[in-house]
Structure 1
Amino acid sequence: MRVIVVVGAGSIGSNIAYHLVHHASFDASKDKVIVIDREGVACAASGKAGGFLAQDWSDGTPLQSLARASFKRHAELAKLLNVDYGYRPMDTLHVAFSERGGKKSVWWLNQDKVSRVSVMGTTSNTAQVHPRLLMNALMDDAVKNGAQLVLGTVVNIDTSTNTIHYIPKDASTAEETMTYTDIIIAMGPWTGTASAWIPNIPSSINGFKAPSIVFKTSDLPQMVSPHAIFTQISMKGKVASPEIYPRPDGTVYICGECITPDTLPPSPADVAPSPADMEELKKLAAQVIPDVAACPVIAEQACYVPVPPGNVPVMGRVKGYDNVYVAAGHTVWGILNGPGTGMVISELVLSGQVTCGIDVSGIMDGGVFAVDE
């Protein structure tokens, strides 16, 4: 039996699992997909991201084909999964705020402070999802079609025996093992730690901290419209650029830069928002979306966005191994590019080549990831 293990259940791991079990050559009677994650599905950045999707914002880069194919696949998945996870096309604006405002914009922004408005995208090329709900829908479907989800912390990968050593989440010290025929490392910003077991995986894959808060406006749904807002706020001697995403469930997500940077902790469970970051986001919200900012806050959170060397995702087979693959480092576009990555990696593992039409020439070389340390 072929046993394919995916380490990581975020956007990349969940999409890979889904596309593996739906690949034309996958046979549940002969093939097995196991996803292992130390905390659960979408427990890190994939569960705390904004979920913004853009069709053509990567044009002119090595990710152009991947992004365009992923954007299209998101629309297809919304129909295939038949689960409401907040997918919808939406208009996208860039809005500048300053003391000299007064420009007209969408009604729930502070019109007195709006100084400039421009269109960044329309419903034809920008959209959104609720990331955590999407990842759970993908994993639920994968499990229904033959995959298995295991909660546990990987402590060693022995490539000489194709064995994973892990400690189950519900156990304190009892170590268990599982064997694999193929393994895919999709650990987000923690992928670099796998270089201790698989030396050719770049150890420099890391992450930067990103804080966010979520307001509940569902009692006042008329307060917001389906517009993604990228801002530039220049007031009171400060400049900031938070992003604002209203969701169909009546919540409004706002994220910004981290003013209290921190190092990547050992586990997603150890990631905590800084009180200073939360206070800053609330102040910014009060300046530009005062009615929303007066609503209850239902989430104060932070995550680490994965950053690869060269800002190009590390995707493909690991040099020196026939059965070890990696897919990580998708930066802020991990939610967008998850479906395309799932398509590419599933084809590479199950058929040995990429046939889905995605141009990976700037990402892979002969199926091996092209990023150097």
Structure 2
Amino acid sequence: MEPSISPWLRHPRPCLDLSAVARKPQHRLLPRDRRVARAARGGDGAAHEPLHVVICGAGVIGCSTAYYLRRLGETRKRPVKTLVVDRKGVGEAATGVAAGFLPREFHNGPDDQLHDRGFLEMRKLAAELELKTYKPLPGWLVRPDSSAGAPAGTAPWLDGEVSITQQIGEAAQVDPSELTSALFGASGAELRPGAVRGIEEVSDWGNHRLTGIRIDDDVVRCDVAVVAMGPWSVLAEDWFQGFRVPLLGTLGSMAFYDRPAGSVDSAIAISQPDDEGRDLMVTARADGKITCLGVQGGHKVLTGQDLRQINPEDVLPVQEDLEAGRHAFERLSSLARGEAPGSIGAGVRSVMTNRAPMIGRIPGYGGTAYVACGHNAYG
């Protein structure tokens, strides 16, 4: 059975619906179900019985879900107690090594409206959370060109053998670590270190209801769970009956250079492949952080089976991609020519096979289980 896909078009917030558990089930309600249903409707006990939610994954998707759950609970005037589970910590996997590039128009796919609404929502979030690193970002699509000089009207550090092919439209940038930490901090959620191993459920007349999440050797009881583990959301296929997560993981290898804050103009340059098949994306932030994502001969793709065999903490950069990025960057810019990066990192982003993110209820579980993954490069 394919999961239900909600492209989040009408509202740019996670689509976990507190009223979902109150919809009329197709089977008789167990005693606890009746209490949860009454509370979800805002009836008897609503002010005293919090909805217990477990979010699997503490990346930007999991932490933003926790943040909007807190706001939704305040609007509905009923408490929501949220536990976020992650084996690495808040924003420590792919989110932690992301460049933070937020293009509004540089996108083409089935989720265009979602992408645009998300861009506008990010602007509001930056004000609400008082993010220091959020700012508009100029950018260009470029190509290596040995006959060209430094292009005029661009960032001063884009001074190598490069020609401009297109200016990127409206865009912004943010430090993903700052964003994710701020979302989590404002959510009021609790962080639980550990690995999610499965679920607890009850079945009645062929219908299922999630009752808890297995974390390492423990079971945490909850009313609702959200799977937001990026590419490792594929593991949920083993937990929920008849559920499929048709995604792939793309491995990105990053090199980071540090300069004094304010010494480098904020900008992004995305290069076409050079004559040796090297792709490059360079992002410079106002805090002096420069991120280089290099690719040699195309992105490295991980299948669902590959992802089952590797843990998030074991993801390492691909050496040939790091070398490709270094050589391509030195050709485009003199900023770090002849210099080794200060640090390196790697992350895996999730991409659905139909290119649209998977957001919504997991079928067959009566509104007690949700999924949010497959958001590709721009979250």
2:360 aligned with 1:324, yes or no? Answer: no
Residues 166-198 of structure 1 show CA distances to partners (whole Å, capped at 9, x for unaligned) of 12xxxxxxx111111111100100001111011
- Offset at 1:226? 2.0
TM-score (norm 2): 0.77
TM-score (norm 1): 0.78
**Residues 12-31 of structure 1 correspond to what in structure 2 (within 5 A)?**
12-23=61-72, 25=74, 30-31=79-80
Match of 1:191 in 2: 233
Write the distance in 2 (CA, Å) between the matches of 1:233 and 1:162.
50
2:110 aligned with 1:62, yes or no? Answer: yes
Write the distance in 1 (CA, Å) between the matches of 2:165 and 2:374.
32
Bigger mean CA deviation after superposition, 69-78 or 296-305: 296-305
Paired residue type of 2:64:
N
Percent identity at matched positions? Answer: 27
Write the distance in 1 (CA, Å) between the matches of 2:72 and 2:255.
37
Match of 1:227 in 2: 267
Write the distance in 2 (CA, Å) between the matches of 1:158 and 1:13.
20
Write the distance in 2 (CA, Å) between the matches of 1:294 and 1:23.
51
**Residues 1-373 of structure 1 correspond to what in structure 2 (within 5 A)?**
1=49, 2-23=51-72, 25=74, 30-58=79-107, 61-84=109-132, 86-102=133-149, 104-105=151-152, 106=154, 107-111=156-160, 113-121=161-169, 125-143=170-188, 147-160=189-202, 162-167=211-216, 175-218=217-260, 221-222=262-263, 224-234=264-274, 237-257=275-295, 261=300, 263-264=306-307, 265-294=309-338, 297-322=341-366, 323-334=368-379
CA, structure 1 residues 74+203, in 2 after alignment: closer, same or farther (shift >3 Å)?
A: closer
Please tell me whether the aligned partners of residues 95 and 114 of structure 1 are also in contact (alpha carbons under 8 angstroms): yes
**Local SS of the residue matching 1:198:** coil
CA, structure 1 residues 80+116, in 2 after alignment: closer, same or farther (shift >3 Å)?
A: closer
Gaps of 5+ in 1: 168-174, 335-373
Return structure 1 stretches of 4+ with deviation > 6 angstroms. Answer: none
Please tell me whether the aligned partners of residues 254 and 345 of structure 2 are also in contact (alpha carbons under 8 angstroms): yes
Please tell me whether the aligned partners of residues 20 and 26 of structure 1 are also in contact (alpha carbons under 8 angstroms): no
**Local SS of the residue matching 2:295:** coil
**Local SS of the residue matching 2:277:** strand
Number of paired residues? 314
Write the distance in 1 (CA, Å) between the matches of 2:218 and 2:211.
14
Residues 314-357 of structure 1 show CA distances to partners (whole Å, capped at 9, x for unaligned) of 110111122111000111121xxxxxxxxxxxxxxxxxxxxxxx
Give the greater-gyration-radius structure (CA).
Answer: 2
Bigger mean CA deviation after superposition, 87-96 or 258-267: 258-267
